[in-house]
Structure 1
Amino acid sequence: MPSISNKGNSMPQSPIRKLVPYAENAKKNGVKVYHLNIGQPDIKTPQVALDAVKNNDIEVLSYARSEGSEVYRNKLANYYANNNIHVSANDIVVTTGGSEALLFTIGSITDPGDEIIIPEPFYANYNGFSIASGVKVVPVISSIDSNFALPKIEDFEKLITANTKAILICNPGNPTGYLYSKEEIEKLKQIVLKHDLFLIADEVYREFVYDGATHNSVMKVDGLEQNAIMIDSVSKRYSMCGARIGCIVSKNQYFIKTAIKFAQARLSPPTYALLASEAALDTPQSYFDNVTKEYVERRNTLISELKKIDGVKVAEPKGAFYCVAELPVENTDDFAQWILEKFNYNNETVMVAPASGFYSTPGEGKNQVRIAYVLNKEDLIKSVTILKHALAAYNQ
């Protein structure tokens, strides 16, 4: 039989999606499953975006421009300007989701064997994207005890080698909800300038920042123009995960021209989704104000309920809509499968994402889970109640 590539064999399963068959079997057996595993908001997509697709008069669904239409990129530039990020349409490449933006970015700045430093835990697909590109992830471990704050600069410096090409952060963080301070971004600026590296910032959760805090974009930092690359997406901002429209933003025109070659190779982003995304930019600020208020209430509810369970430790998220919780079990991969396969409470159960898949360091995160608070408050309370009873039964 023909053999599978080493790269294919090394590709990790998604901690977010790998347990789906067990969840589906539970549903077939009549058990209700509360999905805390995936960042799929239940917030309604702005009607203006849905209407743009429903009411268009397109007669030929043609290719879009490889880097996205000029109209859309100009509207995006205006959106960023309203967030005090000053870029032009020529600084933007539209992609098929934030995932493709990351793939194009890694492909444009690295060769096989190169390295990217990432504070962990991190978005699980960073591992997969790096493996697909033949790139090594070099982790810097942050701790739940410090609320996943940025590790010391010295921890970064000692990991930099001749093969290091970039530092990658997610701000606000997935899976931790951590929000980087202005001082932390400034420290990262100093290190990438000193070592001539790129600073890649995944900022898809920009709108979801809580407790009066401010989001500090790498694109606002003077002196980083040739080093900063921002990854963005409509998926979470407008609750449009299925649209698959993202973008790369950078003032480094050598990088942008390289990324466009990757965009040309895959032809174009999806035309209908571009229409919806362009229209979504007309969404009023009141939409985000209401959504942010809802997520703050959900976060507070979830954290409060989790803290009532003996042996559970939870970090306090300041943005996005995730938290990492440490459970009183040895292996959350086993527990997460067991709770779907063999447990229910009043004919209901929950699906969580084992956190080991958000680390690249072997053995890290084995007793942690990522929880997405994308359900309403009542369902979150029910979910934590189920989790409490499941932990008691599992540990017996």
Structure 2
Amino acid sequence: MPRLSDKGLSLPPSPIRKLVPYAEEAARHGVKVYHLNIGQPDIPTPQVAIDAVKNIHDKIFAYGHSAGLETYRRKLVGYYQSVGIELGYENLLITDGGSEAIFMAMSVCLSEGDEVLIPEPFYANYNGFAVEAGIKVKTIPASIDNDFALPPIEEFDRHITPRTKAILICNPNNPTGYLYSQQELEQLRDIVLKHDLFLICDEVYREFCYDGAKHFSAMNLAGLEQNVIMIDSVSKRYSMCGVRLGTLASRNEEVLDAVLRMGQARLCPPYLAQVAALAALDTPKSYFEEVHDEYMARRDCIVKALNEIEGVYCPTPRGAFYSIVRLPVDDSERFARWLLEEFRYNDRTVMLAPAAGFYGTPGLGRNEVRIAYVLKREDLLAAAECMKEALKVYPGRTIR
């Protein structure tokens, strides 16, 4: 039998989906599983996008422009202006989801063996993208004890080596919900300039900022016009995860040209997806206001419920719709699997994402899980109740 490549054999499993077979088995036996493991919004997709897909025509079966439809990119310029980001349509490339945009950014900015520096914890798939691109992830630990604030700038300096070519951040952050301030990003700018690095900023959750907080885009960092690559997506903003349409934005023409040439593997982004996304840009402002208020209410609901459980600590995230939660357990992956295989509370249980997979440093996050509060409030409360009852009887509980 032929052997896979070293790259194929070394691709890490997703901690978000690793336990899915156990959840599916539980569901087959009639168990209600509350999925807190995956950031799949349950908010309805804007009707204008649905109507656009219903009214498609035969042109969707033709090739499109490799950079994406010009009409879509020009309309995106207006959206970015509305959130304070000045770009031309020529600065935008449309990709097959934000994930492809991140992979492409890594691939064209770093050579094999180079390092990308990422604050922990981070979106687990960044690891997989790095392996595919042949580059190394180097991490800077952040702590739940200070709610995952950006590590001191001196820490970045200490971790940078001659092989470091880029820093990657997600703002607001997946998996912590932390929102980086303008001041923090300006300090990061100084490090980027000092070491002549790229700054890849994943901003797909920019619309989800709470408690009056405002998102500051890395694209607006003065002096970094040639260094910043912004990643965006329609998945979370419009509840269109399955459409798989993202954006890579840069003012660096060399980056854009390299990404375009790399895109020969898929020729062009799908026309149908762009038709839906183009229409979604006409979504009324009231939609976002309602979505924002609902997610903030869900956040308050689950944070309060979890923090009332003995031994549990859930920080209050200021962005996105995730939080890392510390549990009184010996091993969160073992606990998450036990929930699906053995625990039942009135024929209900919970699926969690063990947090160790969101860290690069071995041992970190072992008693933590990531939750996504994308369920209705009554379901979030039911899930929290299940977790409370489960922790009372879990054999690996660390509080007695």
Structure 2 length normalisation: TM-score? 0.98
3-state SS in 1 of match to 2:116: strand
Superposed, 1:207-356 pairs within 5 Å as 207-356=207-356
Name the CA distance, whole Å, in 1 between partners of 2:273 and 2:265: 19
Superposed, 1:72-111 pairs within 5 Å as 72-111=72-111
Kept in 1, the 8 Å contact 2:330–2:367? The answer is yes
Name the CA distance, whole Å, in 1 between partners of 2:278 and 2:262: 22
AA paired with 1:376?
A: K
Which residue of the partner structure matches residue 175 of structure 1?
175
1:134: Cα distance to partner? 1.0
Name the CA distance, whole Å, in 1 between partners of 2:63 and 2:363: 46
1:232: Cα distance to partner? 0.3
AA paired with 2:34?
A: Y
Which residue of the partner structure matches residue 382 of structure 1?
382
Which residue of the partner structure matches residue 37 of structure 1?
37
Superposed, 1:12-31 pairs within 5 Å as 12-31=12-31
Name the CA distance, whole Å, in 2 between partners of 1:207 and 1:88: 21
Name the CA distance, whole Å, in 1 between partners of 2:78 and 2:222: 19
**CA, structure 1 residues 59+249, in 2 after alignment: closer, same or farther (shift >3 Å)?**
closer
Name the CA distance, whole Å, in 1 between partners of 2:269 and 2:22: 33
Structure 1: gaps (5+ residues): none
Name the CA distance, whole Å, in 2 between partners of 1:65 and 1:286: 32
Kept in 1, the 8 Å contact 2:98–2:247? The answer is yes
AA paired with 2:354?
A: P
1:294-327 superposed Cα distances (whole Å, 9 cap, x missing partner):
0010000000000111111112200000000001
Name the CA distance, whole Å, in 1 between partners of 2:105 and 2:40: 24
Structure 1 length normalisation: TM-score? 0.99
AA paired with 1:71?
A: T
Name the CA distance, whole Å, in 1 between partners of 2:390 and 2:120: 28
1:64: Cα distance to partner? 1.9
1:351: Cα distance to partner? 0.4
Which residue of the partner structure matches residue 49 of structure 2?
49
Name the CA distance, whole Å, in 2 between partners of 1:60 and 1:368: 45
3-state SS in 2 of match to 1:370: strand
Name the CA distance, whole Å, in 1 between partners of 2:330 and 2:62: 53
Name the CA distance, whole Å, in 2 between partners of 1:8 and 1:390: 37
**CA, structure 1 residues 7+82, in 2 after alignment: closer, same or farther (shift >3 Å)?**
same
1:60: Cα distance to partner? 5.7
Name the CA distance, whole Å, in 2 between partners of 1:94 and 1:57: 21
Name the CA distance, whole Å, in 2 between partners of 1:61 and 1:394: 54
Name the CA distance, whole Å, in 1 between partners of 2:268 and 2:158: 40
3-state SS in 2 of match to 1:158: helix
1:160: Cα distance to partner? 1.0
Q: 1:61 and 2:61 equivalent?
A: yes
Name the CA distance, whole Å, in 2 between partners of 1:4 and 1:373: 38
AA paired with 1:26?
A: A
Name the CA distance, whole Å, in 2 between partners of 1:295 and 1:167: 29
Name the CA distance, whole Å, in 1 between partners of 2:278 and 2:12: 34
3-state SS in 2 of match to 1:313: coil
AA paired with 1:85?
A: I
Structure 2: gaps (5+ residues): none
Kept in 1, the 8 Å contact 2:60–2:271? The answer is no
Kept in 1, the 8 Å contact 2:243–2:273? The answer is yes
